[in-house]
Amino acid sequence: MLDTLKTYLKFTSWPIILAMLVLMSIGYMAISASERADPNMQGYATKQAIFACVGLLAFIGVTLVPYQAVGRLAYPLFAITLAILVFVLMLPPIRGSRRWIDLGIIALQPSELAKISFIILLAWYLRMGDHYRKLLGLAVPFVLTFVPIGLVLIEPDLGTSLLFLPTLYIMLFMAGAKLRHLLGIVALATVLLFLPVPHTLPADMPSSQRLDHEALAYWCDHDGGRAISAASLVKMKPHQISRIVGWLRQDQPRVVQSTGYQLHQSKMVLGAGCITGQRQDSLVNEYFRMLPDDHTDFIFSVVGGQWGLAGCVGVLLCYMLVFISGVEIAVGTYDPFGRLLAVGVMALLFSQLFINAGMTMGLMPITGMTLPLVSYGGSSLVVNCLALGLLVNVGQRRPILLGKRPFEFGEKKEKPPAPYGPFGQAG
């Protein structure tokens, strides 16, 4: 037993664990800062600490099970997740959407579970063969992707739905899908999304929403209520259109006082933190009280306001440490499933980071995206810990290579590498 424990600790990626603990600690302190500024948030930091403990237990638990055993459960896990996504749509709405299942002590968010089960399923599907190197062979991966996207969009949860496609593309590319096929699909989708189509604006649409829609319309007939807009805008909710307008016109006074207020306050908090975040502490606390969702979607702004540029750079360096360690794990394993699993986890985490940090700085529209391991929320924190646990799991169980490297489709031959990893064959 002692030898097994020593082996486990020896082959565990400690840089990932260190970065994870630091990020969760920063999240706890940032939520505590928001709690001090807003009396209505009392107890949030304590709940986050409890979520962190549960996340650490989930992290340890998933590292104890060989990742190949997890892969063999890919299809049942994905089916259960889809069933939960359908079930949540039947529940009464909470704050205008059907995203959560109230379990009493915690509100479970099925879309978070969908992210991790999707990565496991896609990695398991792509691990064998090279059928996805043909254009028609990409049909199944795209279908497996659009099913959860559709269910998540119905909730509605645009932010989470945006994570599936980048993850799919990165995993397909690393598996060996042809770049021209992937880029061709992007070009076709872009044409369809921005294709000008005529439609009628509802007669009872509030004036503010009508102005937002007209700001993005190519042509609008005020008398008939008709407009020509991009096809994607026709299917968007009014508040989603308002967010896009608030992003494109974020410096206009009318927008700052309405749809762009949240983004404006986010940039004010970031700027007030200066270099170290210590010189304007009272001013930052004042901004915290005026920044909606500062403990969830805009936690990066709180970090910048509390600890300044140094705090933001520190957070980014922690993610960079995870990325470097993840690349080392992905490169060092020659099991197709293990490598794709590692790539999928990194793609998921860094898509979230890119979107969240970008929207808080005004570089992207506001979509309601949490910052991994830092933002408040039990489902998000536990799922991200599970994802990192899978990444560490792959690093612990790098199998012996008995044939050529995976995802190589030429005639190149290489000498197999020496055995590496404490458990030999994975699973």
pLDDT per position as a tens digit, 52-87? 999 999 999 999 989 999 999 999 999 999 999 999
Average pLDDT over residues 341-365: 91
Residue 252's alpha-carbon distances to 2, 261, 267, in angstroms, are 65, 11, 14
Q: Which of 311, 414, 236, 220 is nearest to 25 (CA)?
A: 311
pLDDT surpassing 60 at residue 281: no
Which of 75-89, 231-245, 389-403 ranks highest by mean pLDDT? 75-89
Residue 11's alpha-carbon distances to 4, 5, 154, 223, 332, in angstroms, are 11, 10, 42, 70, 13
Which of 151-155, 194-198, 234-238, 246-250 ranks highest by mean pLDDT? 151-155
Q: What is the pLDDT of residue 118?
A: 95
pLDDT surpassing 90 at residue 298: no
pLDDT surpassing 50 at residue 269: yes
Which of 11-25, 119-133, 206-220, 288-302 shows the lowest mean pLDDT across its residues? 206-220
Which of 26-40, 83-97, 215-229, 370-384 shows the lowest mean pLDDT across its residues? 215-229
Q: What is the pLDDT of residue 402?
A: 46
pLDDT surpassing 70 at residue 403: no
In 10 A of CB 102, how many CB atoms? 11
Average pLDDT over residues 379-398: 91
Average pLDDT over residues 112-120: 93
The kind and range of the H/E element at 393 are helix 378-396
Average pLDDT over residues 295-316: 89
Q: What is the pLDDT of residue 410?
A: 54
Average pLDDT over residues 390-411: 69
pTM here is 0.85
pLDDT surpassing 50 at residue 419: no
pLDDT surpassing 70 at residue 282: no
Question: Helix 14-37 crosses helix 44-64 at what angle (to 10 degrees)?
Answer: 160
Q: What is the pLDDT of residue 72?
A: 92
pLDDT surpassing 80 at residue 38: no
Which of 205-214, 219-228, 314-323, 372-381 ranks highest by mean pLDDT? 314-323
Residue 238's alpha-carbon distances to 112, 162, 163, 213, 245, in angstroms, are 25, 18, 22, 8, 11
